[in-house]
């Protein structure tokens, strides 16, 4: 069998502070196949961005990957040296961040930044690298790329800058792209264009995409599967259509119930009581139990383990009986 493009096993990320060790990512495991788009969704503070940063080796002190493994195309990368990881980052892994201005140097022309990235990760000559840069800009929908390649970032609109960042992410033909809130700062019409572009690139290039977002609508439109995170843990993972239409975990139900529909049949949207716990105050047992309308004594005392139900993964004590029945126990 072909190895997944990305495989996380029991990943843990800690931040060591004067008040103690904070567990930002607490034992998560997931896979992304080539050509697949996995949406990672949850409230602010759930650990979505930290997971992406751990994959690309950009957890700054006092943070650290304290446990588990990260494999890219079957190769373990969490134990690489900084120089080796630098070659992986930008080469085998492309990155798209929320604000394209933070990814582009305002003092350099777009073409110079693309050519530099291409030549860093390939053996192309300057002339060939420029031709590839123009081809990439054309592929991501930049009109008149031969002329605009010599422009500066401030001369581009927000949507155009995000397309340039996507072109940068594709420079070395990566196996994986991590997109962290790539459409948040864009107009709705531009969001739709960027979503369509990411879907097309994943299919045509066979690139795996880890899409980090808080927008369920974006996930429903673009993702093949969705991973719902809460307080640094995975609450539910499954095919996006099934998770959106029939969520299992109470937290996922709350997220889906808070989405307005065009039919307008719902008199009142679902509201999840309370807020995401701070890392220094994550409760014992299931981290969601203080906000969960179905919580019982076991939820307050024992952390639920992930279990498989109908091809989906869910971490909730409500489904212990269902998991046992499926396993034949």
| pLDDT tens-digit profile, the chain (329 residues) | 688 999 999 999 999 998 889 999 999 999 999 999 999 999 888 999 999 999 999 998 899 999 999 999 999 999 999 999 988 998 899 999 877 777 899 999 999 999 999 999 889 999 999 999 999 999 898 999 999 999 999 999 888 998 999 999 988 889 999 999 888 777 888 888 888 888 888 888 899 999 998 888 888 889 999 999 999 999 999 999 999 999 999 999 988 876 666 665 656 667 788 889 998 899 999 999 999 999 999 999 999 999 999 889 999 999 987 654 565 54
pLDDT digit string, tens, across residues 197-216: 888 888 888 999 999 988 88
Half-sphere exposure of 50 (CA within 13 A, CB side): 30
Backbone angles phi, psi at 258, to 5 degrees: -90, 0
The span from the CA of 78 to the CA of 10, in Å, is: 12
Half-sphere exposure of 143 (CA within 13 A, CB side): 2
CA–CA distance from 310 to each of 8, 9, 237, 326 (Å)? 22, 21, 11, 8
pLDDT for res 270? 72
| Other residues' Cβ atoms within 10 Å of the Cβ of residue 44 | 9
The span from the CA of 312 to the CA of 88, in Å, is: 31
Contact 167, 139 (CB under 8 A): yes
Peptide bond into 62 cis (omega under 30): yes
The span from the CA of 198 to the CA of 99, in Å, is: 16
76: β partners? 71
Strands 233-239 and 63-72: unpaired
Burial (CB < 10 A; 0-12, 13-18, 19+), residue 189, is exposed
The span from the CA of 105 to the CA of 82, in Å, is: 23
- Please tell me whether residue 107 adopts helix, strand or coil conformation: coil
The span from the CA of 203 to the CA of 221, in Å, is: 15
The span from the CA of 151 to the CA of 223, in Å, is: 33
- Please tell me whether residue 302 adopts helix, strand or coil conformation: coil
The span from the CA of 5 to the CA of 38, in Å, is: 12
Q: What angle do the packed helices 158-170 and 188-205 form, to 10 degrees?
A: 10
Q: Tell me the domains of the chain and their CATH numbers.
A: 6-92+172-262+269-327 (3.40.50.300)
Report which DSSP code applies to 182: T
Burial of 127-148, coded b for 16+ CB within 10 Å and e otherwise, reads eebbebbbebbebbbbeebeeb
Contact 130, 111 (CB under 8 A): yes
> What tokens does 151 get?
């422009």
């Amino acid at each position: 069998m072909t190895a997944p493009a990305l495989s996380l096993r029991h990943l843990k990320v800690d931040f060591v502070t004067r008040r103690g060790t904070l567990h930002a990512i607490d034992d998560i495991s997931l896979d992304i196949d080539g050509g697949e788009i996995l949406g990672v969704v949850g409230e602010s503070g759930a650990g979505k961005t930290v997971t992406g940063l751990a994959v690309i080796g950009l957890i700054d002190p006092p943070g650290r990957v304290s446990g588990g493994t990260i494999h890219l195309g079957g190769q373990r990368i969490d134990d690489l040296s900084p120089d080796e990881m630098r070659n992986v980052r930008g080469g085998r892994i492309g990155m798209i961040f929320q604000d394209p201005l933070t990814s582009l140097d305002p003092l350099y022309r777009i073409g110079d930044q693309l050519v530099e990235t291409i030549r860093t990760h390939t053996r192309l000559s300057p002339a060939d690298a420029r031709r590839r840069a123009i081809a990439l800009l054309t592929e991501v929908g930049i009109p008149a790329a031969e002329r605009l390649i010599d422009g500066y970032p401030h001369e581009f609109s927000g949507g155009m800058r995000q397309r340039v960042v996507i072109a940068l992410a594709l420079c070395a033909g990566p196996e994986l792209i991590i997109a962290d809130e790539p459409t948040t700062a864009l107009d709705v019409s531009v969001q739709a264009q960027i979503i369509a572009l990411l879907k097309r690139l994943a299919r045509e290039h066979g690139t795996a995409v880890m899409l980090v977002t808080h927008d369920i609508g974006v996930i429903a439109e673009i993702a093949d599967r969705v991973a719902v995170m809460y307080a640094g843990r995975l609450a539910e993972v499954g095919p996006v259509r099934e998770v959106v239409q029939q969520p299992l975990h109470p937290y996922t139900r709350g997220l889906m119930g808070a989405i307005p529909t065009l039919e307008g049949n719902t008199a009142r949207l679902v509201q999840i009581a309370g807020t995401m716990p701070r890392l220094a105050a994550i409760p014992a047992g299931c981290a969601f139990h203080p906000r969960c309308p179905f919580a019982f004594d076991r939820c307050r005392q024992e952390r639920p383990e992930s279990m498989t139900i109908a091809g989906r993964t869910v971490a909730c004590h409500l489904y212990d009986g269902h998991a046992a029945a499926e396993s034949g126990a």
